Amino acid sequence: MTEKKYKNSNLNNSSTISVVSEMVMESLEEPPLVETIDKERQKKQNISDSSKEFIKKHFPNTTIEQWNDWKWQYKNSITTTEQLQKFLHLSESETIKEDNVEKYLPLRITPYYLSLLDDFDASQPLRKTVIPSVNEYYIGKDEVLDPLCEHGDSPIPNLVHRYPDRVLFLVSNTCSVYCRYCTRSHMVAKDCKEIFNDFEPAFKYIEENPQIRDVLLSGGDPLLLSDGKLEYFLRRLRAIPHVEIIRIGTKVPVVLP
């Protein structure tokens, strides 16, 4: 491969170019450039062998760069049982009808998280956290939609104030995966426009209660909000003098690499 070809490529990392050059020197055969770049990226981005196998098997036309892009992961999430069956051998209790998935907590798993699941073992703990089961549709007589009784401690629609110095601020109803154990499954992924349209009453409540020093942003997942929207929450809360701590409850870092 000539120097000219390197210059025409999109490579702009001198160390990558240097490694590629050395490999060319060592071999009479030219290594495919894309493959070489991918190998370097894999090293830098620490892709595990099992992830590589998974990508090769299920997403053969996907680059490591795409795999490591959270937007690609979100866009290619698995949302139906039909899709899921292409990746896993589902047990009888995991084979559920789509209309049930729509009616109750929906199915959503990112390809990365799916790559961590056992193909066959329906009792694998991680698998049980994200794969729906028909048992979810059995509602026991003592079960309630809001098991933590958050509604009872909610002075403002999207605020839960249970402990004097802290509040839970629900800012979104969308998640990167839907966990089968979710205690807020009655509102995540549901049509809750009325509580996500106007956040000013919640800010006003926090401003008027100086004992609140800790605000936990949750939902849904706040890290799925746009940067602008997230900044809006952080700026508004930072401007309240008695708020000392702002926390973000999120699953994004573990499901979107």
Q: Can you give the binding site for ligand SF4, defined by CB under 6 A?
A: 175, 178-179, 182, 184, 188, 220-221, 251
The sign one gets for the Cα dihedral 117, 122, 128, 131 is positive
**Residue 115 CB, nearest approach to ligand SF4 (Å):** 18
Nearer to ligand SF4, 64 or 175 (CB): 175
Q: What's the closest the beta carbon of residue 240 comes to ligand SF4, in angstroms?
A: 25
> Taking Cα atoms as reference points, which of 127, 136, 225, 140 lies closest to residue 185?
136
Asked if residue 189 lies in contact with residue 142, where contact means CB atoms within 8 angstroms, the answer is no
Q: Which is nearer to ligand SF4, 36 or 250 (CB)?
A: 250
Q: Which is nearer to ligand SF4, 64 or 132 (CB)?
A: 132
CB of 107 to ligand SF4, least distance (A): 11
Contact between 220 and 171 under an 8 Å Cβ cutoff? The reply is: yes
State the amino acid at position 32 in one-letter form.
P
Beta-sheet pairing, 166-170 with 245-248 = unpaired
For the bound state, the minimum distance from the C-beta of residue 55 to ligand SF4, rounded and expressed in Å, comes to: 24
In the complex, least distance from residue 53 CB atom to ligand SF4, rounded to whole angstroms? 27
Give 114-117's long-range contacts (Cβ < 8 A, gap of 24+).
114/54, 114/78, 114/87, 114/88, 115/50, 115/51, 115/54, 115/55, 117/87, 117/88
Which is nearer to ligand SF4, 47 or 130 (by Cβ)?
130
Closer residue to ligand SF4, CB minimum distance, 40 or 233: 233
